[in-house]
Amino acid sequence: MKPLLIIYLVVLLIVFLENPTIGGGWMWDIVNSLGFSSFAAVLCLTLPNSGARYIRGHELLAYTTIFITLGHAFWFFIEDPASVEYVRPGAPHYMWAGLGSLFFLLLSVWISILPARTRIHQNHSSFKFWHRLFAIFTIVGALYHVLGSGFYLGTATQVGAILLLTIFVFFSRNLKLHIFQSEVATPHELIMITIAGSAVFVFIKNVL
């Protein structure tokens, strides 16, 4: 089983630990399901691997993750123009944390592609340091965004579980677990997981 699928299923399980059938409406839950898919993908991008084939796959997965994250972030503005109030001065900190997470995700990808990579970094060690640091900022911002809102992860059990999952995945390179060292997920797999997961998410929240 792909690491991405494992991580995504665990994220959904954590979400459904408390009030699994209470949702915010079809559109609200669809958009937020994209956010959970994006979060799982970001965690997956931190997993260790090597080789030219992996690097290309990692890059394509990052692009797809950005696409899904942008969908999560800006669909609200299209569906409900009043949502712009959440990105103006005085907006909740967790909303700014979400936008900050998106910013660092974009930044981590930009410094990784040519010619920016060779222009910015003097050596591979410099690139690895900044790329990993921006990944940490991305994950921390996303966590604060999800937990600060309290929309789906409002209990101590859920908060502890999502934090444990994040720490476990981020430091899995030190654990050298076989299931987390396989070939990186493809954009097609991420999209299919997102569609299927969103359908399940919305069905449970709005039909059951």
The model's pLDDT over 135-177, given as tens digits with 9 standing for 90+, comes to 999 999 999 999 998 889 989 999 999 999 999 888 876 666 5
pLDDT tier for residue 51 given thresholds of 50, 70 and 90:
low
Radius of gyration of the chain (CA): 17
Cα 8 versus chain centre, distance: 10
pLDDT of 181 = 58
Q: Residue 8 to residues 54, 79, 88: CA-CA distances in angstroms?
A: 20, 26, 31
Interval 182-194: pLDDT, tens: 567 899 999 999 9
pLDDT of 106 = 96
Q: Where are the alpha helices (DSSP H) in 16-155?
A: 26-45, 52-79, 93-110, 116-120, 124-149
pTM score, two decimals?
A: 0.91
* % of the chain with per-residue pLDDT over 70: 89
pLDDT of 78 = 78
Contact present, 18 and 154 (Cβ < 8 Å): yes
